[in-house]
Amino acid sequence: MMFANLKTTVGKEMFWRHALGTALVAQGLGHELGVKGAEEIYLAGLLHDVGILVNGVLFAEEFGDVLEEAKQKKVPVEEVEKSILGFSHAESGRILAELWRLPVDLSEVIEYHCQPQDQKPPSDITLLVHTADLTCQKLGLGYGYELASDDASSLTRIWEPLCVRFPMAQAFNEETYNHLLIHLVSEADILADHVFTPTMATKRDVHCDSHSR
Ligand SMILES: [Fe+2]
Ligand SMILES: [Fe+2]
């Protein structure tokens, strides 16, 4: 697996659960809102935070402080990265994306996923990944803490920008989009459990096998 032999201050399982969650929620949103390109949306969601790995590997000590402060303040990581590191994971992610020669569309999602308004104009995929990212961080599939609800992370403020871009988003009311977002995250959570706890399943299977013989 990517970065498997490198030490990072971010738990690998936590990182990939958030990546998988963001990928699935973004893809689910794209489906609901009639956006084409399900594979591209999924891949962008999966790789959006690759800069977190870069920062966690190359600046392990400082990034440990970043995570600690973000957790205490319940704010997104990028809000603290700037003051401690001087740059965000979106910036280091973009550099890695270019080194890897990822497609430009994908590199731009990585660069702008924290602040889609800086992309001129924001792409559909950037908006979906941004929304899915915040939703996951708000509903327990983030980096070990939930964002405070008094900032821009409430589900209403997460949903509203979608209505400007995607006409189909306007058909949802507060109850239906809350339901959709919670449903998408819980489905992703179940799949993440399935993906990240194979050892438990294997142990159970072995145990059952030994009893059935
Ligand atoms: Fe991010
Ligand atoms: Fe993220």
CA of 147, nearest ligand number: 2
**111 C-alpha to ligand 1 centroid (Å):** 9
Mean pLDDT on 193-212: 58
Res 213 pLDDT > 90: no
pLDDT of 21 higher than 70: yes
Buried b / exposed e over 179-199, threshold 16 CB at 10 Å, is ebbeebbeebbeebeeeeeee
**Structure confidence at residue 146 (pLDDT):** 85
> What distance in angstroms lies between residue 168's CA and the mean position of ligand 2's atoms?
24
Give the distance (Å) from ligand 2 centre to CA of residue 18: 7
pLDDT at 4 over 90: no
Ligand nearest to the CA of 94: 1
Structure-token match 């962008």, residue found? 44
The pLDDT mean for the chain works out to 89
Written in H, E and C, the secondary structure of 21-89 is HHHHHHHHHHHHCCCCCHHHHHHHHHHCCHHHHHHHHHCHHHHHHHHHHHHHHCCCHHHHHHHHCCCCH
Topology (CATH level 3) of domain 12-199: Hypothetical protein af1432 (1.10.3210)
Average pLDDT in the 11-37 region? 96
Between the CA of 77 and the centroid of ligand 2 the distance, in Å, is 9
Among the ranges given (9-18, 38-47, 102-111, 129-138), the one the predictor scored with the smallest mean pLDDT: 9-18
* Residue 10 region by backbone torsions, left for phi larger than 0, else alpha for psi between -120 and 50, else beta: beta
Q: Per-residue pLDDT averaged across 146-152, rounded?
A: 69
Residue 46 has pLDDT above 50, yes or no: yes
How far apart are the CA of 56 and the centre of ligand 2, in A?
Answer: 14
Task: Calculate what percentage of the chain has a pLDDT beyond 70.
Answer: 86
**pLDDT score, position 210:** 45
Domain borders along the chain are 12-199
Question: What's residue 1's pLDDT?
Answer: 46
Query: Per-residue pLDDT for 151 more than 90?
Result: no
- Which pLDDT score is estimated for 212? 43
Dist. CA 6–CA 54, nearest whole Å: 10
Residue 203 has pLDDT above 80, yes or no: no
Per-residue pLDDT band for 7 (boundaries 50, 70, 90) equals low
- Give the closest ligand to the alpha carbon of residue 25: 2
Q: Ligand 1 centre and the CA of 100: distance in Å?
A: 18
Q: Provide the pLDDT for residue 116.
A: 97
Query: Which chain residues have CB less than 5 Å from ligand 1, an ion?
Result: 49
Structure confidence at residue 145 (pLDDT):
87
Residue 211: pLDDT band (50, 70, 90) is very low
Between the CA of 48 and the centroid of ligand 1 the distance, in Å, is 6
Average pLDDT over residues 179-194: 95
Q: Tell me, what's the pLDDT at 148?
A: 79
Give the tokens for residue 151: 């900032």
CA of 172 to the centre of ligand 1 (A): 26
